[in-house]
Amino acid sequence: MSYKVLYRKYRPNNFDEIVGQKAVVRILQNSIVNNKISHAYLFAGPRGTGKTSMARIFAKTINCENNKNGLACGKCQNCLNFNESPDIIEIDAASNNGVNEIRELINNVKIMPSESKYKVYIIDEVHMLSTSAFNALLLTLEEPPSHVIFILATTNIENVPITIISRCQKYEFYRISNELITEHLQKICDQEKIEYDIDGLKEITELADGGLRDALSMLDQLSKENKKITLDLVIKELGSISLLKIKDLIEALDANDIDKVDLIIDDFQKTNLNYKIVIKKIVEILSQKAIIVLKDGSKTNLNYSNIKNIIFELNDCLNKININVNPYIIIKMILLNCCKGENNFKEKVNNNEIVTKLEKNNINTKEINKEEKDDLNKSNNIKENNDELNKLKQIRINNCFVNVNKECLLNIKSKWEEFLNGSSKLVKGLLTDSMPVAASEDYLILTSGIVHQSDEINRERSNIEQELNNFLQKKLKLIALSNEEWAMEKEKYISNLKQGKTYEFIEEEKTKKEDTTINLEKLAKNLFDESKIEIK
């Protein structure tokens, strides 16, 4: 028999095997016991928390011939044939997201179940359906035949139209607690005869971030080493880091030990740790430290104000970090900033005190004013660049909608993973968490699930376009949007279609020679002494 991975082998087959989500289990079981079954359900929550498993178990139980207290018997014909039942239809909306697929589903809905009491449609990642597909589904979802039940599952409920949500019973799935995941991993290790240390399993749990499927996948990977699952093994193989090491770092910060802070962060970089994991654990330990500081009022280098500012800056680092910059340099600068002799996070003194200090150090205040003026010029340049980018966004979105084409989008989606795997580190790093959402022969719109990542993609769009077009043998122009921006543009597009408004192609403005001169002048003034610049 072929090997079956752990998360599939130990997938729950009954409500009592579900880990976590007790509230959802209780309500669904009671609805079966009291014969109050709805026609449509929506399961929403993070990945790996049991949404699809719950949908399958619910479908199995309502079709069980001898279910007792809301539990499937597992022995009747419907239970035994559940995995091969033609009446349980699972659809992956990520790859079947068009209106034609939904129309086919609607036509098949009318056909009675061949073996079971109910025909159940489980639509996974339903937020990936196109707008036209959602619209086609609306009426059927509201009033399906009595023998049909819909179960929709999504990890991104923000992208599911409110018109769909309002027609379903919605159930929230939450991240599974660390205690439950660790306990479940112990049971599986005992059954599979896998040796383990509890600290190793706890570290896997931390990395899983509330997703049981992720935890089982990591356990499966490590078990192939035929070694005891220890903390050291998890750290070495999965790129994790010991909390003890993080605590050493925080203690060094607290002791104002610059050399030790520098050394520890360099060690993190040398071992090629994922900087996101490092930041997450630093924030976790700092939050614990903040509570201790508030309770005992101890006056150490790390006071509450310091801790708060470090956490906010590290979070900002996660959101805005430029993939071209080594993230560990930024982390180091943020932490070392707290190790100054005079704390950098103290409240700013008033203007009179600043002037007094400047005079004592023989610093010409005119130079300071010049620096402030330069900073203002730079700020204005950034604003101008942002205005230009926003203008370009609207033009490219418009031009994509002029000839938006589903076949173009599906073609790019089918090759997207292959493109990412063969792209440069820069492009792969920027696009890993993005996806194509609309395309024409000449334009492509991407969305990114990471805050501010779309801005980074747009800044590097020339490099991305070059690699993508070489791969696809096309001449696409791309633009990236955040999920929120894309949701707004979709709504606007739908509204325009309903009102009969059409999109007309807009030429992208070329940079004028005068503008280039102005920009060069500003750049020169920012770099050199203004009195020594001659504009010809």
In whole angstroms, give the CA distance from residue 104 to residue 522. Answer: 60
Q: How far is CA 172 from the centre of its chain?
A: 18
Q: Which residues contact 250 (CB under 8 A, 6 or more apart)?
A: 282, 285, 286, 289, 302
* Amino acid sitting at position 87: D
CB neighbour class for 270 (10 Å; exposed up to 12, middle 13-18, buried from 19):
exposed
Cα–Cα distance measured from residue 184 to residue 181, given in angstroms and rounded to the nearest whole number: 5
Q: In what order do the strands lie in the sheet with 119-124?
A: 88-92, 119-124, 148-154, 40-44, 169-172
Q: What is the pLDDT of residue 521?
A: 55
Torsions phi, psi of 87, nearest 5? -90, -5
Residues 6+ apart with CB under 8 A from 105: 89, 91, 121, 137, 140
Q: What are 326's two structure tokens?
A: 């080594």
What residues have CB less than 8 Å from 115, skipping those under 6 apart? 77, 78, 81, 85, 86, 87
pLDDT at site 358: 46
What structural domains and CATH numbers belong to the chain? 6-172 (3.40.50.300), 178-238 (1.10.8.60), 243-339 (1.20.272), 374-513 (3.30.300.180)
The answer to whether residues 234 and 277 touch, using CB atoms and an 8 Å cutoff, is no
Distance of alpha carbon 515 from alpha carbon 174, whole angstroms: 52
Identify any residues that bridge with 478 across adjacent strands, giving them in sequence order.
444
Q: What is the pLDDT along the chain (536 residues), one digit of tens a residue?
A: 467 788 888 899 889 889 988 999 999 999 999 989 999 999 999 888 999 999 999 999 999 988 888 888 888 888 888 888 898 999 888 787 788 888 888 888 888 988 888 999 999 999 988 888 888 888 888 888 889 999 999 998 988 999 999 999 999 999 999 899 999 999 999 998 999 889 889 888 888 888 899 899 989 888 887 888 888 888 778 777 767 778 888 888 888 888 888 888 888 877 767 777 788 888 888 888 888 887 776 556 678 888 888 888 888 777 666 555 677 788 888 888 777 544 444 443 444 444 444 444 544 544 545 555 554 554 445 444 667 888 888 899 998 988 888 888 998 988 888 888 888 877 877 787 788 999 999 999 998 766 567 888 888 888 899 989 998 898 899 999 888 788 888 888 888 888 888 888 888 875 443 344 445 555 555 545 555 455 55
- Determine the Cα–Cα distance for residues 306 and 336; give it in Å rounded to an integer: 12
Residue 73 has phi, psi (to 5 degrees) of -75, -30
Alpha helices in 125-208 (DSSP H): 131-142, 162-165, 178-192, 198-208
d(CA 526, CA 59): 67
Q: Using CA atoms, how far apart are residues 531 and 104, in angstroms rounded to an integer?
A: 73
Cα separation of 247 and 321, whole Å? 24
Position 512 scores a pLDDT of: 40
d(CA 390, CA 480): 11
As a whole number of angstroms, the distance between CA 67 and CA 87 comes to: 18
Closest CA to 493 of 394, 410, 413: 394
CA–CA separation, 471 and 444 (whole Å): 14
Please state whether beta strands 119-124 and 148-154 pair in parallel, antiparallel, or not at all (unpaired).
Answer: parallel
Question: CA 277: distance to chain centroid?
Answer: 14
Burial of 166 (0-12, 13-18, 19+ CB in 10 A): exposed
**How many residues appear in the chain?**
536
Phi-psi region of 252 (alpha: psi -120 to 50; beta: other; left: phi over 0): alpha
Task: Round to whole Å and give the CA distance between 276 and 318.
Answer: 7
The CA dihedral of 370, 372, 378, 381, to the nearest 10 degrees, is -100
Beta bridge partners of 390: none
